[in-house]
């Protein structure tokens, strides 16, 4: 059962940070999947990710400098390009021959797509290939379209508990209560939703949203939504009306086996939404922080390693999540392709 830590999947892309968080000619240090990284953008605008440790004496490269092309270590001035290859050792004299191309700090595959920086965490140094050749693309919007809104919060929990929160249909009435959203003690209603397998996950099949809701009216008539969940921790919601569309991404990125960053991003086709960014991002933060506070409290219980349970159908998606992860790990161990073990199913609950 899921406790304080989770098994982290490798051989896949993780959303590291929004592209806007790393300016041209700058670097940012981040620990992801327990690995210290230096994520940068060269002066031509290309993003890269280096292992944040100098191969000479191990000091983190983040203490050095970046000139827009190469990172210089703060200790003895060795310089590395964005592929992680050493290009200069200042102490060498002309007659001292060293093959610099063999000296590497190590770089991870790093791609910017939909305004997000994705990093591939390999199993054993392999390059991304097959279905994992590229990071996932957002629906509706072009690769060059950056999100209009984005927030991130640190969650002191494993990726499994963060994922359970994402796909938990029955906590909202108890956790997400505010004057502007849902007030407390609201009556629970019976719900029924059809689910189907999707690449590396499952999706709540496209269904109509209530036409009387003012927020959905902004998208036009016939507003529908489809919500997909996929490994290693992505929830993609695509809401479409006959005039406008909104795509929401929640990305669960492990900092370590027991800590997680939760990113929430929205792409919107209505240009005016950017003008409301401060207000909308504030509301998003209030909402996501309610989830964060719950996992902080949950942690107080999990340290005692209690026995936990998952019930039907409210927690069926959480069960699916664990089955998908097991299949990923088994397929990897057997050296065979991932086979989605899920079948179409209707889930029922009250929320």
The closest alpha carbon to 78, from 93, 96, 65, 97, belongs to 65
- Rounded Cα distance between 351 and 345, Å, is 19
Tell me if 38 contacts ligand FES by CB under 6 A: no
Tell me if 57 contacts ligand FES by CB under 6 A: yes
- Rounded Cα distance between 150 and 152, Å, is 7
Part of the chain binding ligand FES (CB under 6 A), chosen from 32-40, 70-78, 152-160, 272-280: 70-78
Tell me if 104 contacts ligand FES by CB under 6 A: no
- Binding partner selected for residue 78 from ligand FES, Fe ion, none, CB under the kind-specific 5 to 8 Å limit: ligand FES
- Rounded Cα distance between 298 and 207, Å, is 33
Q: Which of 6, 8, 16, 54 touches ligand FES by CB under 6 A? A: 54
Residue 154's Cβ-side half-sphere holds a number of Cα atoms within 13 Å equal to 8
Residue number, 261 or 291, with CB nearest to Fe ion: 291
Only one residue has tokens 């060059």, namely 144
How many other CB atoms are there within 10 angstroms of residue 190's CB atom?
8
Number of residues that bind ligand FES (CB under 6 A): 8
- Binding partner selected for residue 291 from ligand FES, Fe ion, none, CB under the kind-specific 5 to 8 Å limit: Fe ion
Q: Scanning residues 279 to 338, which ones bind Fe ion (CB under 5 A)?
A: 291
CA-CA-CA-CA torsion sign (132, 163, 5, 58) = positive
Alpha helices in the chain (DSSP H): 159-166, 172-175, 214-217, 277-302, 316-334
Q: Which of 31, 36, 75, 342 touches ligand FES by CB under 6 A? A: 75
Part of the chain binding ligand FES (CB under 6 A), chosen from 20-28, 44-52, 68-76, 248-256: 68-76
Residue number, 77 or 156, with CB nearest to ligand FES: 77
Residue number, 59 or 329, with CB nearest to ligand FES: 59
Q: Which own/partner pairs from 205-214 qualify as long-range (CB within 8 Å, at least 24 positions apart)?
A: 209/239
- Rounded Cα distance between 36 and 62, Å, is 10
Residue number, 52 or 291, with CB nearest to Fe ion: 291
Q: Scanning residues 194 to 233, which ones bind ligand FES (CB under 6 A)?
A: none
Minimum distance of ligand FES from residue 52's CB (angstroms):
12
Tell me if 78 contacts ligand FES by CB under 6 A: yes
Number of residues that bind Fe ion (CB under 5 A): 1
Tell me if 88 contacts ligand FES by CB under 6 A: no
* Region of residue 11 (phi > 0: left; psi between -120 and 50: alpha; otherwise: beta): left
Minimum distance of ligand FES from residue 78's CB (angstroms):
4
Only one residue has tokens 């290693």, namely 232
Residue number, 78 or 216, with CB nearest to ligand FES: 78
* Sheet (strand 65-66) strand order: 65-66, 71-72, 79-80, 86-88
Positions touching ligand FES (CB under 6 A) are: 54, 56-57, 59, 73, 75-76, 78
């Amino acid at each position: 059962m899921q406790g304080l830590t989770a098994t982290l999947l490798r051989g896949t892309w993780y959303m590291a940070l929004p592209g806007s968080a790393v300016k041209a000619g700058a670097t940012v240090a981040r620990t992801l999947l327990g690995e210290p990284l230096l994520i940068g953008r060269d002066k031509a605008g290309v993003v890269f990710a280096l292992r944040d440790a100098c191969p000479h004496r191990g000091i983190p490269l983040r203490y050095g400098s970046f000139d827009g092309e190469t990172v210089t270590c703060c200790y003895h001035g060795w310089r590395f390009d964005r592929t992680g290859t050493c290009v200069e050792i200042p102490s060498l004299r002309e007659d001292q021959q060293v093959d610099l191309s063999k000296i590497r700090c190590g770089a991870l595959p790093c791609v910017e797509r939909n305004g997000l920086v994705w990093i591939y965490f390999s199993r054993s140094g392999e390059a991304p290939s097959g279905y994992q050749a590229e990071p996932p693309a957002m629906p509706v919007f072009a690769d060059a379209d950056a999100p209009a809104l984005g927030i991130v919060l640190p969650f002191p929990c494993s990726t499994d508990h963060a994922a359970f929160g994402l796909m938990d249909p029955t906590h909202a009435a108890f956790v997400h209560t505010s004057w502007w959203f849902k007030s407390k003690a609201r009556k629970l209603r019976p719900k029924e939703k059809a689910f189907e397998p999707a690449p590396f996950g499952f999706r709540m099949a496209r269904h109509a949203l209530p036409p009387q809701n003012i927020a959905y009216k902004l998208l036009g008539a016939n507003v529908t939504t489809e919500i997909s969940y996929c490994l290693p921790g992505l929830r993609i919601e695509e809401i479409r009306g006959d005039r406008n569309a909104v795509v929401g991404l929640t990305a669960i990125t492990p900092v370590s086996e027991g800590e997680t960053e939760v990113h929430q991003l929205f792409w919107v086709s209505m240009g005016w939404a950017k003008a409301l960014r401060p207000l909308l991002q504030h509301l998003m933060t209030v909402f996501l922080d309610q989830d964060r506070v719950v996992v902080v409290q949950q942690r107080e219980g999990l340290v005692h390693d209690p026995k936990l349970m998952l019930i039907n159908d409210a927690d069926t998606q959480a069960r699916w999540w664990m089955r998908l992860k097991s299949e990923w790990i088994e397929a990897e161990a057997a050296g065979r392709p991932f086979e989605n073990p899920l079948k179409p199913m209707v889930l029922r609950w009250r929320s």
